[in-house]
Amino acid sequence: MARIQKKGTSGNAKNYITRSQAVRKLQISLGDFRRLCIFKGIYPREPRSKKRVSKSSTPSTTFYYAKDIQYLLHEPLLAKFRDQKALAKKISKALGRNEVSDASRLERNLTPKLSLDHIIKQRYPTFVDALRDLDDALSMLFLFANLPSTSEVPAKIIAKCQRLTLEFEHYLIRTHSLRKSFLSIKGIYYEATIQGQDILWLVPYKFVQRTGADVDFRIMATFVDFYTTLLGFINFRLYTSIGLVYPPRFDAKSEEQGAELGAFQLEGQNANGQTEIEGTADAQSNQKAQAEADRLLALPEEQQPGQAAEDGADNEGDDSGETNDQTSGALDQFTSVDESADTLPQPSATADASATGRLFEPFTFFLSRETPRHSLEFIVKAFGCKRVGWASVLGEPGSYCSEDDSRITHQIVDRPDLPLPSPPLTDGDDDEEEEGVVNRKPNERVPGRIYVQPQWVWDSINAGKLQRPDLYAPGATLPPHLSPWVKQKRGDYDPTAPLAEQETAAEVEMEDEGEDVVVDGADEGSESEEIDGVRGDEEAREMEVELEEEDGGMDVQLAQSDDEEPEDQDTAAAAADEWGGFSGDEGAADADADESAARQAQAELEAEALGHAPVNPTKPATGTAQAKRSKAEREAQEDVERRKMMMPRRKRKMYEKMVYSNARKDEETGKLRAKRRKIEKGATGAKG
């Protein structure tokens, strides 16, 4: 007789463990268990059947893998947590005896320090693994760097997050690794490419943040502790890979005065291992900026961008003696051994990335006080600009020039249109202008300077080339700011394309007849377009492949043929009656069309004689555009319905769901086109 197996000792009941059982097994509190799971990257699991996993009559709600909990038994942090618990008992006893000095001494001398270095090495065995997990870390640290100091979020944590994020931004500026950015309602999205890994993170706007009471900052603080350790390791590796000393020198006084990026002083190492000061990101590096700007302006226009990029690369190599694998490394060239073989395409991404990374190098920017200074300074410097100035009231350290400086080529403003300067009233004998400084009135343009709105910077870097400045002039209606990560598909609404290229045939017919285009859903021929692959939808193509491979006792090729005619005339007539006369007599249809046209012409003549707008009383309610559907479209619709009847039930339900979702998408795009059509008509009427 087989041995009776005890319940809960094998299968899924053995593979899973509840949270309360895990806490009792580790002998720690629930808060420490949560911190430990966050540090180690262990998360709850959802079993297929909670009833089979649970050992009690009432199924639990939170389960973990038993192997994960067994792995936590050997974690060194458990000893630290127990030491913290024992110290808390000693401090509470001292406070109970009113021994405040002893309690403070115990807290100052015996508080255990948690080190997460070994956890970083365990979770990320290679540096590429750490880069792949950097998205959430950057988003969390940038969020805490912009939070106000409260009792839940101490100022020390905020300062640490600000320092680490600014160090990371300095690396992106130095290597020109920033690729894209997008302004959204949540904040500013950035994407950078580091060692072949695309990193995307979100930075909130610098508004006055109000922390809600429903947010558990204890759990978020645990994530911040782990992410600060992770970003510290990554910054050290990134800085040393390009020959810089980490951590860079930090000037606290400049930071208090609003320098931000300019408060850091980068240091490089020469071939002998000695440290050389390369200068701050703004002040010391700008000492050479004027000479370089004069040299670039003296060159011909066609030679300025390329020559500036080459000279900038030479200057960086001469100053620091470093090698940048992000911008200066050449890709391998692939050659074929066999001469008769196909030619292999050669990579050219390095040259394109290098040219795009130095997009703003020949320019000098001035940021007005109403613009987001930090984000604009970071972006323009990451794309090659070394000369950025702003008003001294926003922070004197790091600013390059004043607003009246004649060396400024672009000024970014976010205010109504600025007037042009008025001609001088005198000959200028009394008011002598200083060299390099333009005297002007407040809120007045400087001749020879390009004024653009902040969106021009984002659209230029996303497009990889400089956009037209006149489209982004102060007070102008800006072009649509589109996400660089959304790829337009055929059939979707594209605000950058002309409306005539996106309108459907039904909308064009209704617009030609002077009717109001009303979008009630998808076009009537949408099903035929989906099944025949006219729109190029991937779901429709997958459906056709499934239909061809289906062995349900049907021949798909026979269903797809359009030239096939029914053998029995009575059967064909019955089918025509069943489908509501889609394939009626062509001659009768022509006669009805002629009669309808005659009645419409007579009604128009009568209305014109009475002085009213022409009215067509015989026009159906659905509109003449739908009534003029051709015979080919009707046959295609009939073919679709016939093929749907031959589908299995599962495939037919899937197909109908696909058609419904596509109809909803078409309805939304139709509404957007109708809204744009109305706006364009209103603008045309206003001009007229």
Q: What's the mean per-residue pLDDT of the chain?
A: 77
pLDDT for 662-679, tens place per residue?
889 888 888 888 888 888
Whether the predicted pLDDT of 543 surpasses 50: yes
Q: How high is the pLDDT of residue 273?
A: 61
206 pLDDT above the threshold of 70? yes
pLDDT of residue 214: 83
How far apart (Å, rounded) are the C-alpha atoms in residues 226 and 232? Answer: 10
Answer whether 379's CB lies under 8 Å from 371's CB.
no
Q: If we measure between CA atoms, which residue out of 223, 179, 229, 220 comes closest to residue 201?
A: 179
The arithmetic mean of pLDDT across residues 32-41, rounded, is 95
pLDDT for 537 equals: 47
Whole-number Å distance between alpha carbons of 322 and 243: 6
Q: Inform me whether the pLDDT recorded for 493 exceeds 80.
A: yes
Q: Which percentage of the chain shows pLDDT scores above 70? A: 66
Euclidean distance between CA atoms 38 and 20, whole angstroms: 17
Among 115, 107, 123, which Cα is nearest to 80's? 115
Cβ–Cβ under 8 Å, residues 451 and 473: yes
Which tens digits make up the pLDDT trace of 234-279? Answer: 999 999 999 999 999 988 888 887 788 888 888 887 656 666 666 5
Between 216 and 514, the more confident residue is 216
Check whether 163 has a pLDDT greater than 70: yes
Token pair 């005619």 is found at: 565
Residue of higher predicted confidence among 380 and 296: 380
Question: For 382-403, what is the mean pLDDT?
Answer: 82
pLDDT tens, 68-91?
A: 999 999 999 999 999 999 999 999
Give the pLDDT score at 215.
Answer: 87
* Structure tokens that stand for 639 in this block: 């073919």
- Measured CA distances, 610 to 535, 597, 599, 603, 618 (Å): 47, 20, 17, 11, 19
One DSSP character per residue, 288-354 reads THHHHHHHHHHS-GGGHHHHHHHHHHHHHHHHH----TTTTPPPPPP--SSTTSPPPPPP-HHHHHH
In what helix (H) or strand (E) does residue 267 lie, and over which residues does it extend? strand 264-269
Task: Give the number of other Cβ atoms within 10 Å of residue 106's Cβ.
Answer: 17
Checking if the pLDDT of 524 tops 70, the result is: no
Of 54-68, 209-223, 581-595, which gets the smallest average pLDDT?
581-595
Least confident of 212-216, 276-280, 434-438, 474-478: 434-438
Model pLDDT for residues 310-336, shown as the tens digit of each residue = 344 344 444 444 444 444 445 556 566
**Mean pLDDT score, 141-168:** 94
Write the CA distances from 212 to 149, 216, 226, 287, 449, integer angstroms.
13, 9, 23, 46, 45
Bridge partners, residue 199, by sequence: 192
Domain range list for the chain? 12-75, 79-110, 117-247, 499-562+589-687
- The single-letter DSSP state of residue 82 is H
Distance CA 28, CA 329 (A): 51
196-200, 413-417, 447-451, 557-561: range with lowest mean pLDDT:
557-561
